[in-house]
Amino acid sequence: MLPTLGHLPVAMITAGLVDRAIDEWELQYGRSTVKNSVAALVLVLDEAVRDGIIARNPAKDRARRRTVGRSPGDEGPTGPRDLALPDKAALERLVAGVIEAADTRRTATW
């Protein structure tokens, strides 16, 4: 946050600046780093709201967006459930494939 927004007084941070900062971070850093940075920014700006420095937290709307932390073109899973197998039959096929691959390697090395 420091090089992007840290030099600005809190009262000067707008939703547009937050959007541009997050867009820049998404190009430079991984998803986890971006999400953690946004979370810290939201907490800092929440304190500014409580202290009466700003009327509304400009980072909250962006923090709720589903795309926070996603790199452009990142079409991978968005959550752990996306990686789940659809049913028991799929699991059984996967296990059978692993066993077959292990058997093939074992016989190839003997």
Q: What is the pTM of this model?
A: 0.56
* Position 109 in a domain: no
Mean pLDDT by 10 residues, the chain (110 residues): 84 90 90 90 94 92 56 59 83 91 72
Asked whether the beta carbons of 38 and 61 are under 8 A apart, the reply is: no
Coil/strand/helix, residue 68: coil
- Per-residue model confidence (pLDDT) at position 4: 85
- Per-residue model confidence (pLDDT) at position 69: 47
Residue 38: give the domain boundaries: 2-73
DSSP conformational letter for 29: S
- Per-residue model confidence (pLDDT) at position 64: 55
- Per-residue model confidence (pLDDT) at position 60: 86
* Position 46 in a domain: yes
- Per-residue model confidence (pLDDT) at position 44: 92
Helix axes of 31-50 and 15-28: crossing angle, nearest 10 degrees: 160
* Position 83 in a domain: no
- Per-residue model confidence (pLDDT) at position 103: 80
DSSP conformational letter for 58: T
* Position 42 in a domain: yes
User: Domain tally for the chain?
Assistant: 1
